[in-house]
Amino acid sequence: MKEGYWIIRTYESGIIGEKIKYWVKGERPSGKSRRKEKSEIKKQEQNEYSAMKAVARLLNENYQEGDILLGLDYSDDGLKKITDRVQSFYPDFADMTEEEKADLIWESAWHELELCLRRVSRDLKKQGRELFSVAITSDMDGDTQERVRVHHHLVVKAGCEKIFQEKWKAIGDVDWETLSKQADYFPIAEYLIKQVRGIPDAKKFRSSRNLIRPQPKDRVTTSDAELRVPRGGKLLFRQEYQNRSGSAHYQPQYIRYIIPEEKRKKRALVPNGSEEVQRL
């Protein structure tokens, strides 16, 4: 057997649990100096599903039935505004490739959304409330992968949709729908991230700093046994387990499940800011 060890990383968000089992080569560092271990896990986490999983954790931990999925579109005048902004900074805009133009318009749209978020946040603060948001900017159809007019999707708390409509009306329309009661909001996270075109060095999503961000718990094991759902839990998804003991690399294992009811009751007693959940 190759020299190394397994790290089982566990996330809990809302009533959803996740376990990911990573193979780390070499001897485990002692003490607090585990930068190499953390770097190896981070590298393995960078796959096509990592952003979806991250967004799903935020949604499951911070939102519930009745909260809002917003769509912000640009009118012709609104699109002209963000395009004119780009042209003012890049005099050679007309000579750029279509891909380069699209990237710059995408960045300009992000800036416009950030301005809107600040305005909405100011109005909410006057009411003694905070803005909790997860947002993406898209210029691609998630199903066909075809280019479409740039737009935004956000998940926010109930009761601020009319403020968004007021702050956005000068440059486009706002539509919204309420979140249904779901054990796992991963389908919404998948819907959002599938619309985000891959742009080098660009974040796929942005979220407000006041959201609760589930933190992982890691434990070490030398066993390559397949991950199991905790007793009393319900399996939602299992990534196919490939035991490749004779190969150069082990593949991470992944399961997603509903946390056993007894564990949920105990977790509900843990205050925010603890080891299990930290507010950043």
Domain contains 275: yes
209-244 pLDDT per residue, tens: 999 999 999 999 888 889 999 999 999 999 877 665
Same domain, 57 and 104: no
Domain contains 189: no
pLDDT of residue 37: 62
Residue with tokens 């009751």: 265
**51, 107, 202 from 199: Cα distances, Å:** 14, 10, 5
Rounded Cα distance, 280 and 223, in Å = 34
DSSP 74-94: --HHHHHHHHHHHHHH-TTGG
Q: How many beta carbons lie within 10 A of that of residue 117, not counting itself?
A: 20
Task: Determine the length of the chain.
Answer: 280
Which residues, 6 or more positions from 49, have their beta carbon under 8 angstroms from its beta carbon? none
Same domain, 113 and 173: yes
Q: Which residues of the chain have pLDDT under 70?
A: 1-2, 29-48, 242-249, 265-280
Cα–Cα–Cα angle for 233, 234, 238, rounded to 5 degrees: 115
Domain contains 250: yes
Rounded Cα distance, 192 and 180, in Å = 16
Same domain, 40 and 98: no
131: containing domain: 68-180
What's the number of domains the chain is made of? 2
pLDDT of residue 262: 82
